[in-house]
């Protein structure tokens, strides 16, 4: 936390009093804290208290009588923005980009990671509108610090209490420490579909969008890895610093790029939906239709994952995906064996919201030794974090060996 620049945005909840403890803890750990507040937060705790603790003036309005507070500059200054407590009202406004306060203006200008510590009554927390707003904020890449369970200001007991200041600080410390845990590591990620040409205008392809693989590449890069993203034909892309995208079309091109970059890599994640077959001959002219049926003879493509599994050296990891409709676990375990994966991410097409085209995914990790880790339905960006956590772990274990 030392020298980290934190914007602490306080909104109007009874839990606002805890923001004073949070400010003190952050300052104690060496952070610079700039407090901003919504006008209603000032009804719960005074700006003077927070200005004294943070040793900086507190901003409550974009335009005050004496000056205009530069929200853009603040948004660029910070290493992290923490909204604590975040009321149901603020969650709803920010999920929709409403910018009627200093907190909204800084949020929309912030380039840094944003963390929400929600605080509300249990029924408000359970309401589908709040749930939807939380999901929307997560889809922007914001992180939600889990709420606590216990007695609430209403006297009711349930979920909705703001996380304790110590837990919020732990959450932030985790974020900063994890951040560069993969610095110096090199990763190859395959993603998206492949198109296998039949003639100059037609191809055999599949519905993969590449979203899962792109999310993994971004999360690996966010922790400091240099990532080569070998991406099949898709409209999806990434601007993440640290990700070098190599655009390919066919399975053969993907194979060439992946095997080349794997030579210097510590880890390869094979998230692409590679065609298993391609037309045996490709017509150089558009094929004209004729009477009757037509057949296209297909031949096998090269198996990228299997090849990397064969050449991988001690310390190199390979991770695969399996998309199954039946005998899921047995099939996935067979793939770990055949392709020498360190672990496989099993998607079941039987699960609602999982697989191609969705923003969510429901997966189970299966490791080489047979252990299984089922995850609940999550956003693909969250699944990507879980996958990168496992990679982080395995790379650290292999370093210690």
Residues 6+ apart with CB under 8 A from 137: 91, 94, 95, 116, 144
Nearer to ligand CTP, 304 or 354 (CB): 304
Question: Quick check: bond before 85 cis, omega within 30?
Answer: yes
Report whether 244 contacts 229 (CB < 8 A): yes
Q: Which of 8, 274, 332, 363 binds ligand CTP (CB under 6 A)?
A: 274
335 scored as a contact of ligand CTP (CB under 6 A): yes
Q: Which of 27, 99, 296, 323 binds ligand CTP (CB under 6 A)?
A: 323
Give me the residues paired with residue 366 across strands: 344, 372
- The contact mask relative to ligand CTP for 154-193 (x = CB under 6 A, - = no) is ------------------------------------x---
206 is catalytic: yes
Stretch that binds ligand CTP, among 68-76, 112-120, 145-153, 315-323 (CB under 6 A): 315-323
304 scored as a contact of ligand CTP (CB under 6 A): yes
Nearer to ligand CTP, 214 or 272 (CB): 272
Stretch that binds ligand CTP, among 3-11, 86-94, 266-274, 385-393 (CB under 6 A): 266-274
Q: Which of 251, 346, 384, 387 binds ligand CTP (CB under 6 A)?
A: 251
The residue written with tokens 């047995």 in the block is 330
Nearer to ligand CTP, 244 or 276 (CB): 276
Catalytic residue among 206, 326, 331, 350: 206
Round to whole Å and give the CA distance between 197 and 22.
59
Stretch that binds ligand CTP, among 74-82, 87-95, 298-306, 370-378 (CB under 6 A): 298-306
Report whether 195 contacts 232 (CB < 8 A): yes
Stretch that binds ligand CTP, among 94-102, 203-211, 227-235, 317-325 (CB under 6 A): 317-325
Total of residues contacting ligand CTP (CB under 6 A): 15
303 scored as a contact of ligand CTP (CB under 6 A): yes
Nearer to ligand CTP, 154 or 307 (CB): 307
Q: Which of 124, 272, 317, 379 binds ligand CTP (CB under 6 A)?
A: 272
The residue written with tokens 């409403």 in the block is 98
The b/e string for 87-103 (b: 16+ C-beta within 10 A; e otherwise) is bbbbbbbbbeeebebbb
**Residue 341 Cβ vs ligand CTP, minimum distance, rounded to whole Å:** 8
Chain residues binding ligand CTP by CB under 6 A are 190, 251, 270, 272, 274, 276, 301, 303-305, 320-323, 335
| Catalytic residue annotation | 206
């Amino acid at each position: 936390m030392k020298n980290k620049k934190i914007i602490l945005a306080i909104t109007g909840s009874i839990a606002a009093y805890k923001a004073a403890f949070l400010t003190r803890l952050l300052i104690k750990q060496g952070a610079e804290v700039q407090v901003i507040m919504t006008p209603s937060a000032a009804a719960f705790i005074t700006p003077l208290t927070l200005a004294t603790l943070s040793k900086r003036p507190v901003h409550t309005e974009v335009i005050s009588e004496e000056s205009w507070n530069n929200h853009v500059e603040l948004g660029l200054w910070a290493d992290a923005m923490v909204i604590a407590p975040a009321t149901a009202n603020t969650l709803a406004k920010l999920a929709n980009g409403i910018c009627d306060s200093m907190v909204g203006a800084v949020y929309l200008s912030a380039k840094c990671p944003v963390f929400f510590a929600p605080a509300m009554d249990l029924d408000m927390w359970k309401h589908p509108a709040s749930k939807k707003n939380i999901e929307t904020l997560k889809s922007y890449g914001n992180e939600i610090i889990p709420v606590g369970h216990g007695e609430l200001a209403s006297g009711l007991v349930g979920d909705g209490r703001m996380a304790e200041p110590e837990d919020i600080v732990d959450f932030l410390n985790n974020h900063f420490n994890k951040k560069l845990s993969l610095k110096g590591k090199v990763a190859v990620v395959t993603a998206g579909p492949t198109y296998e040409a039949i003639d100059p205008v037609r191809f055999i392809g599949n519905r993969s969008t590449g979203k899962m693989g792109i999310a993994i590449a971004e999360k690996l890069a966010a922790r400091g890895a240099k990532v080569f993203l070998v991406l099949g034909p898709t409209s999806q892309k990434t601007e993440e610093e640290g990700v070098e995208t190599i655009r390919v079309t066919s399975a053969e091109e993907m194979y060439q790029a992946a095997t080349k970059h794997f030579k210097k890599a510590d880890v390869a994640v094979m998230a692409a939906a590679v065609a298993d077959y391609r037309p045996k001959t490709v017509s150089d002219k558009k094929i004209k239709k004729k009477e009757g049926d037509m057949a296209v003879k297909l031949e096998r493509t090269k198996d990228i994952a299997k090849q990397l599994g064969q050449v991988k050296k001690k310390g190199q990891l390979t991770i695969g995906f399996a998309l199954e409709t039946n005998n899921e676990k047995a099939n996935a375990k067979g793939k770990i064996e055949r392709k020498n994966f360190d672990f496989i991410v099993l998607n079941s097409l039987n699960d609602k919201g999982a697989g191609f085209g969705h923003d969510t995914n429901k997966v189970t990790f299966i490791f080489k030794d047979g252990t299984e880790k089922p995850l609940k339905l999550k956003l693909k960006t969250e699944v990507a974090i879980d996958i990168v956590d496992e990679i982080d772990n395995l790379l650290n274990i292999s370093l210690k060996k």
